[in-house]
Amino acid sequence: MKTILVATLAAGLLAACHEIPQDAPKPYAGKEDVKPYAGDLFKGDKQKFEQALAQRAQSQDEYLHIGDENAPKQ
Amino acid sequence: MARMKFICDAERCIECNGCTTACKNEHEVPWGVNRRRLVTLNDGVPGERSISVACMHCTDAPCMAVCPVDCFYRTDDEIVLHDKDLCIGCGYCFYACPFGAPQYPQAGAFGLRGKMDKCTFCAGGPEENFSVEEFRKYGRNRIAEGKLPACAEMCSTKALLAGDSAVIARIYKVRVTTRGKGEELWGWKVAYGGSDKVSDNLQPVGKA
């Protein structure tokens, strides 16, 4: 009887020792956004859009800008 | 899809405020709101360092987690944006953000706050691309024009890099190996987890 009581009490006390997950992904409740490549410029061509951005990102490398032959190879 | 990130090279930043000015001008950001700002450590002391700070578009964005109206979303390019029509200007995101990115325009007397405003990575918001509404609420949509954020493209010393994480990490790595110091990617550990060393963040282009 005593064992059952202790076990019930322990189970009851431990039941409160859990954490509700707070990092569960929440659904976005706002307006749907249009894809950046959907306009007249890229006409829905995702690959062309990605290429344009990659080219732009690469142009931030000033070693390529100055065309230095001795520049470190990537 | 690419994974858009910023890198601020503290070894190169000369505190010219070109990035903050470019941002203000590009998006016609109202007085009192600073989507991007410069922070200088040990100002005036030899060896001072400046960092250009804005929204880092975190992987596990705390602003997104705490928003009571769920107005944040993530684009395919991993850019964190929000819907201003839904925002109630509660300020929770400001307290949650480790970079102090969310800004609030004054909307009336006695410090009444308006809807939250932050860096959009120049990707506009949930309105029709290039529309008047999009510009009024979120600023210019350079990403839809195939361009990178104005702050990074304006940077005179190329201290601020923006774009696909794999591409900019490679550019940064070449710099680091050339000069032999400054491998730390400021804010990356906080924003994206893992390591803040560029050598640990190199991934094949297009796989980031």
pLDDT at B48 over 70: yes
- pLDDT, tens only, B129-174: 999 999 999 999 999 999 999 999 999 999 999 999 999 999 999 9
pLDDT at A74 over 60: no
Chain A partners of B128 at a C-beta cutoff of 8 Å? Answer: 34
pLDDT at B1 over 60: yes
pLDDT averaged over chain B? Answer: 92
DSSP annotation string for B14-51:
----HHHHHHHHHHTPPTT--SSEEEEESTTSTT-EEE
- pLDDT, tens only, B51-89: 999 999 999 999 999 999 999 999 999 999 999 999 999
CB-side exposure of A4: number of CA atoms within 13 Å?
Answer: 1
Could you tell me which residue, B46 or A20, shows the higher pLDDT? B46
- Provide the residue type at B153 as one letter: E
Residue B48, CA distances (Å) to B8, B43, B53, B54, B159 in order: 15, 6, 16, 20, 15
> Is the ipTM of this structure higher than 0.90?
no
Residue A68, CA distances (Å) to A63, A73, B164, B177 in order: 6, 10, 24, 16
The structure tokens listed for B56 are: 């880092």
DSSP strand pairing (B160-164 vs B4-8): antiparallel
pTM above 0.90, yes or no: no
Number of cross-chain residue pairs from A and B with Cβ atoms under 8 Å apart: 108
CB contact under 8 A, A50 and B148: no
Nearest to A56 among B65, B86, B163 (CB): B163
Beta bridge partners of B50: B40
Q: Is B88 on the interface with A (CB under 8 A)?
A: no
Domain regions of chain B by residue span: 4-200
B118 and B35 Cβ atoms separated by less than 8 Å: yes
Pick the closest to residue B49 from B19, B18, B20, B15 (CA basis): B15
CB contact under 8 A, A30 and B126: yes
Topology annotation, domain B4-200:
Alpha-Beta Plaits (3.30.70)
Beta-carbon contacts of residue B10 (< 8 Å; ≥ 6 apart): B49, B50, B51, B159, B182, B184, B186
B77 and A33 Cβ atoms separated by less than 8 Å: no
- pLDDT, tens only, A2-48: 888 888 888 877 777 777 666 666 789 889 999 999 988 999 999 99
